[in-house]
Structure 1
């Protein structure tokens, strides 16, 4: 199956799994394909970032611009660059699942990569409401990436 356009959705809750998210997207995208790195902001977070970046409210700043200046996005972008993957950065303002679904549709994405909480003690995957909605409603396959670091900590046995 061709993976020409992979939509990689990242947000502030993904900080502990950026490496896994970047690796996953890089490993599945076609050699001549691209990863679209999407950061979805809620209004509060967006306003905070605008203030931190001293962006003049009258300037023509788009969510794409704000996304490009996000630390999380630049971290993932760097990792994709090192992996030699072609990528572009997009931003969206609004409800996360809705924005991911809209963007995957408008891009005609071949795959969506999202993160979520790690497994519970009983081994069940705990999907946040965003990941769950994307998994259920996306028009294309969805890859769910959970935190590896949390799992390793849980499995550590005292010496």
Structure 2
């Protein structure tokens, strides 16, 4: 059994700001000792992309400008700083479209050994009614998936 890791896809979204430390820790536990490259993947829906572009004072941004938007996005900067500090190689990949589809396609294209995702922590009923990016990735990923559970803030 081959236990080497070359590529880890870290999927982050616009609502992951409260769990960046947990996602970084999960990725570093595997990437640092194995020397794997992290593909920092940020997928926006069309609406999310427009909102973020507006917030970053880039109201005329198009999908072709996704890398420019990501260069200014705080969560991407956070991970770049963490990976630089720990000597972990990374690539940044910005995409616009169906979130789970783009994450799965990135994992396939990059021949990822692992995908790391988190969730908004919706209830099982919410997932059944509205769907779940994390659930789709867990079911359809071409490689194992590490799910980073949201911190329970109700305690």
| TM over 0.5, shorter chain | yes
Summarize deviations over 1:82-127 as a string: whole Å, max 9, x none: 222111111010111111011111111110000124597xxx9x97
Task: For 1:57 and 1:13, locate their aligned partners in 2 and report how far apart those are by CA, in whole Å.
Answer: 23
Q: CA deviation at 1:61?
A: 4.2
C-alpha contact (below 8 Å) 1:10/1:114 kept by paired residues: yes
Instruction: Give the CA RMSD over aligned residues.
Output: 2.7
Match of 2:96 among 93, 98, 115: 93
Structure 1's unaligned 5+ residue stretches are 155-159
Task: For 1:45 and 1:117, locate their aligned partners in 2 and report how far apart those are by CA, in whole Å.
Answer: 15
The aligned residue for residue 10 of structure 2 is 8
The aligned residue for residue 24 of structure 1 is 26
Q: 1:8-157, aligned counterparts within 5 Å?
A: 8-29=10-31, 31-55=34-58, 57=60, 61-118=64-121, 129-148=132-151, 150=152, 154=155
SS at match of 1:3: coil
Q: TM-score by structure 2 length?
A: 0.81
C-alpha contact (below 8 Å) 2:5/2:35 kept by paired residues: no
Q: TM-score by structure 1 length?
A: 0.80
Structure with greater Cα Rg = 1
Task: For 1:107 and 1:14, locate their aligned partners in 2 and report how far apart those are by CA, in whole Å.
Answer: 23
**How many equivalent residue pairs?**
148
